[in-house]
Amino acid sequence: MPMQQDVLIVGGGAIGLLTALNLAPHVRHITLLDRGAVGQESSWAGGGIVSPLYPWRYSAAVTALAHWSQDFYPHLASELFARTGIDPEVHTTGLYWLDLDDEAEALAWAERERRPLSAVDLSAVYDAVPVLGPGYSRAVHMAGVANVRNPRLVKSLRAALLALPNVSVREHCEVTGFVRSGAQVQGVRTGAGDVLADHVVLTAGAWSGDLLRTLGLQLPVEPVKGQMILFKCEADFLPSMVLAKGRYAIPRRDGHILIGSTLEHAGFDKTPTDVALASLRASAIELLPALADAAVVRQWAGLRPGSPEGIPYIGAVPQLPGLWLNCGHYRNGLVLAPASCQLFADLLLGRTPIIDPQPYSPTNTLYPPQL
């Protein structure tokens, strides 16, 4: 049945773009609307670690999506590269956590979940990462953790969609509300007129809660500002990702080093600040003292789609037939994107879902409007 149907996707970050790509072979037509250029918000601004920062601190719901995605990422990247010539650069470096307070919990989680995380001798860490700063006393390591060059990931997703005959990507087209007939959602309102479809999918990241409010629905998805800084070093400067005291360093393949990040509740303000610059730079130098002599080549901020416990909302909105959600991925939208978008497509297309969809169901979390 969905083969004969049209889908409208609101928001072209990693989640909206990959949702569109997964649905495209199975529906008649997809229109993806973004109020700016696609892939320029959180999905551009993020660090791209293909793992939650502290995976053992998350619920089983986040873990299930993360594990499915981590296994799938290399395949996604090579498929996108083959289709578009743009390489999302999945860079598998492993990750060292230094001086964790909850090391025992981390190790117990790894044993339970069968993840390759283990305590390592500090001398082995300094052998592997000679540029690491002094003064650490403990480390755990997870082999196989990658980072994805997310600005290239979204560029590649966009190019893949533009090549499809049944997908229209409309940039600089802001959605201001929804078209309804009774409870049925039939489309969206934009400055350029109404756009109608059989299914409307909200993938508007940090803005999703605000858009739902126009329907009288309350979804606890709120912007959480994150700032990052960037250095450029020799390609082999940092062979692994490292993380201490909530701050991390991510090496790209070409020697760019990202240092992140802040967590700020500042509404929709994305202005980078001097306070964050000083704090991130101090963390960078503590982790990797050689960066004291390097220039910060860029600073930016993005807005994470914050949600309670970071559990995204994936599925149909029962009170409003025709309306679907795939949003609220908070700190993990890049790692969770493949599984979230596959699960979403399974639900919309009526296929057997890759994992149990219940934990992500919007059913119990939306407060009903007066219809």
Ligand X SMILES: Cc1cc2nc3c(=O)[nH]c(=O)nc-3n(C[C@H](O)[C@H](O)[C@H](O)COP(=O)(O)OP(=O)(O)OC[C@H]3O[C@@H](n4cnc5c(N)ncnc54)[C@H](O)[C@@H]3O)c2cc1C
Residues interacting with ligand X, by CB under 6 A? 10-16, 33-36, 38, 40-43, 45-49, 174-175, 203-207, 211, 226, 228, 260-261, 302, 304-305, 327, 329-335
Q: In what order do the strands lie in the sheet with 184-190?
A: 175-181, 184-190, 193-196
What is the token pair recorded at 252?
């790209």
Shortest spacing between CB 87 and ligand X, in angstroms: 18
Amino acid code (one letter) for 67:
H
Rounded distance between C-alpha atoms, residue 363 and residue 10, angstroms: 20
Shortest spacing between CB 13 and ligand X, in angstroms: 2
Q: Report the b/e string of 162-179 with b at 16+ CB within 10 A.
A: eeeeebbbeeebebeebb
| Nearest to ligand X of 141, 247 (CB atom) | 247
Query: H/E/C letters for each residue in 3-61?
Result: HHCEEEEECCCHHHHHHHHHHHHHCCEEEEECCCCCCCCHHHHCCCECCCCCHHHCCHH
| Nearest to ligand X of 203, 361 (CB atom) | 203
Shortest spacing between CB 208 and ligand X, in angstroms: 8
Rounded distance between C-alpha atoms, residue 253 and residue 259, angstroms: 15
Shortest spacing between CB 49 and ligand X, in angstroms: 4
Shortest spacing between CB 99 and ligand X, in angstroms: 20
| Nearest to ligand X of 93, 332 (CB atom) | 332
DSSP type of residue 287: H
| Nearest to ligand X of 40, 119 (CB atom) | 40
| Nearest to ligand X of 14, 77 (CB atom) | 14
Shortest spacing between CB 337 and ligand X, in angstroms: 7
| Nearest to ligand X of 125, 202 (CB atom) | 202
| Beta pairing class for 256-260 and 247-251 | antiparallel
Looking up tokens 């149907």 gives 5
| Nearest to ligand X of 53, 316 (CB atom) | 53
Backbone angles phi, psi at 339, to 5 degrees: -70, -40
Shortest spacing between CB 127 and ligand X, in angstroms: 26
Using DSSP's 3-state secondary structure scheme, residue 225 falls into strand
